Amino acid sequence: MTEDSYPRTRRFLQGRSRDALDVRERSLLESLVDEVQQFTSPHTILKRGDVQDRSTILIEGTVARVIHEGGKRHIVALHVPGDFVDLHAFTLKRLDHDVVSMGAVRVGYVTHDALTRVLETEPNLSKMLWYSTLLDAAMHREWIMKMEHLSAHGRLAHLMAELWQRLTFVDLAGESGFALPLTQQELADSCGTTSIHMNRVVRKLRETGVVDISRGQVTILDFDELKRVGAFDAAYLYGEGPLKLI
């Protein structure tokens, strides 16, 4: 597959299941994207309660799924390119959370009518769409585990390890790190803590030579230690073959 093949959907399930889709299905999926949109400033792409007639695939950038509660913002999932961010709304009808861009993003849209036709005529592609929502659920479970089990220190380490692995799947991780347009406040919202405490944690992980997070750039300093502190085991990400990072 060249860099130009399937420019909007080629990262869908990339790194997860090499043979999930054949050429015809890949090409069909690509053709389903009937509009592409760009957002630069932080933007709420979808709002809780919205009833959509199309779903959104992330092409470029980072988006968060956000639940507002008690005047606070809680990030319950982060997405990387290739992820459908609201495929579940196809079946659930309305969203139970907001979808917010973190920095500049580019997204594509697939109508629910098109998805209905897929469900009626493309059992394998249907199964792979289902599969992608189950990967989200597996990540959700891991996040529950980490919230139950880990201190803020471990939660941040786990998050960095997960993002590095997921960006590696889709060929967007660098040699020793990756770009991440999240402020310390947003990292705090992703780890269920405050920005003040997140600042302590970021500093400590930097000082102890585990990972450096600054100015939107994450540098992995000691991946073994990062995995240990974050109790990270990539099995729940269902990567194909032997995982690079294990």
Partner DNA sequence: CGCAAGAATTAACATATGTTAGGGTTTGTG
Partner DNA sequence: CACAAACCCTAACATATGTTAATTCTTGCG
Residues that bind a second copy (CB under 8 A): 49, 65, 67, 69-70, 72, 74, 76-77, 88, 91-92, 96-97, 116, 119-120, 123, 126-127, 130-131, 133-138, 140-145, 147-149, 189, 191-192, 231, 235-236, 238
Q: Tell how far CA 240 is from the center of its chain.
A: 17
- Of the candidate spans 24-32, 113-121, 188-196, 222-230, the one that interacts with DNA by CB under 7 A turns out to be 188-196
Single residue of 13, 57, 114, 152 touching DNA by CB under 7 A: 152
Q: Which of 57, 59, 64 is nearest to 43 (CA)?
A: 64
| Least distance CB 192 / a second copy (angstroms) | 3
Q: What's the token pair of residue 43?
A: 């933007």
Q: Which does 120 bind (CB under 5 to 8 A by kind): a second copy, DNA, none?
A: a second copy
Q: Which of 74, 93, 73, 77 is nearest to 85 (CA)?
A: 77
Rule CB under 7 A: is residue 73 a binding residue for DNA?
A: no
Pairing type for strands 177-179 and 217-220 reads antiparallel
Q: Which of 241, 7, 13, 10 is nearest to 127 (CA)?
A: 13
Q: Which of 186, 174, 185 is nearest to 218 (CA)?
A: 174
| Least distance CB 227 / DNA (angstroms) | 18
Collapse the DSSP code of 229 into the 3-class scheme (helix H, G, I; strand E, B; otherwise coil) and give the result.
Answer: helix
Binding positions for DNA, 112-151, rule CB under 7 A: 151
Closer to a second copy by Cβ: residue 144 or 196: 144
Single residue of 4, 120, 215, 224 touching DNA by CB under 7 A: 215
Alpha helices in 83-192 (DSSP H): 88-92, 112-121, 123-149, 152-169, 184-191
Q: Which does 195 bind (CB under 5 to 8 A by kind): a second copy, DNA, none?
A: DNA
Rule CB under 7 A: is residue 183 a binding residue for DNA?
A: yes
Pairing type for strands 98-111 and 54-69 reads antiparallel
Single residue of 89, 139, 157, 201 touching DNA by CB under 7 A: 201
Pairing type for strands 44-46 and 98-111 reads antiparallel
Closer to a second copy by Cβ: residue 82 or 177: 82
Handedness of CA 187, 190, 196, 201 (dihedral sign): negative
Rule CB under 7 A: is residue 68 a binding residue for DNA?
A: no
| Least distance CB 103 / DNA (angstroms) | 10
Closer to DNA by Cβ: residue 3 or 69: 69
Pairing type for strands 211-214 and 217-220 reads antiparallel
Q: What's the token pair of residue 237?
A: 């990400």
| Least distance CB 44 / a second copy (angstroms) | 17
> Which residues form the interface with DNA (CB under 7 A)?
151-153, 183-185, 192-197, 199-203, 214-215
